[in-house]
Amino acid sequence: MAPRAETRPEARRMAKSTGRLAICALLGLFGAEPALALYPKKGDSDPHGGVRDARRRVIQGIDVSRWQDEIDWQKVKDAGTRFAFIKATEGGDHLDPMFRKNWAGAKAAGVPRGAYHFVYWCRPAKDQVRWFRRHIPRDPDALPPVLDVEWNGESAKCGKKIPREKALAKIREMLKGLQEHTGKKPIIYTDITFHEDVLEGQFNDHPYWLRSTAAPLHHRYERKQWEFWQFTTTGRVPGITGDVDRNAFFGSEHEFAAWRDGRYDIGARKWRGGEPKVATTPKPPATPAGLRTPKAAGATPLKFLPPGRIPRSARAEVATTGSIARD
């Protein structure tokens, strides 16, 4: 996720050297990118083997903000991108300057998208609720919104941590505001430090989107489950110049579609109206072992004669040749 706009280090926007890119490309081809078969057009300028499980996930997407500049959303779509989270608002007075363009562009290209709000701990929660209600669209086809909770450590004006209980109260108020505004249960995005300081054991019925770019999530978080995994900040995706965050969804195609339709609560892992039943084909009546031909031969029932009896049609052949004639 993008830190506060006026504090993000410009050094993070510098391009990688040609030599390093070549080495990383080779690493990606030989083991560091096992998901190349799923997303052959995507890559990583600095891949890490510790997140290979995320790269194997079938459903992957991105998150973007002003730092990705102009985006060719059709190319992003053609690369296989299944979802995009787009920065909308921050604190109580900042609107990402690329939000409206990205929001419209993703929809036009057919990329499912959701908006995220970056929490600024030095503004009252009610101010931030008022601000994102003003700017985050209530599109019925949008993904659920995201509340991005991290410490504002890079901010010159708001770099200090606040007490845990105060942070939880603000989060609770903003989650409520987002859900009332959009009608959808918000996703919580967070990083390792903030989760450990504030979120362990909290809001467990909400979907969690966790960041870990160098190790499996269970090595970094005291959580039994996750719903989205931000596994790299150095991803490469056609249509975007430079690095972009890449993310993985935890579940199957069926679960992803049902979550989008509102039939499956991925945070609580509950189906609305019960989990759909999968139709099964009735099994044929059991037949004693050895009484059917192999499946390749049609699995038809076999008829056995009593021991010592030879079919009448074969007796003449036995008398003249000493064996049963073959077809």
pLDDT digits (tens, 9 = 90+) for 182-222: 999 999 999 999 999 999 999 999 999 999 999 999 999 99
pLDDT at res. 283: 62
Find, among 64, 49, 58, the residue nearest to 250 by Cα: 58
Please report, rounded to a whole number, the percentage of residues in the chain having pLDDT higher than 70. Answer: 73
Residue owning tokens 């970056």: 118
**Of 90, 150, 227, 255, which is the active-site residue?**
150
pTM of the model: 0.78
pLDDT of the residue at 278: 58
Positions of the chain with pLDDT lower than 50, given as ranges: 6-34, 293, 314-327
Nearest to 85 by CA among 195, 227, 196: 227
10 has catalytic annotation: no
pLDDT at 273: 81
β-pairing, 208-211 with 228-236? parallel
Pairwise CA distance, residues 272 & 67, whole Å: 38
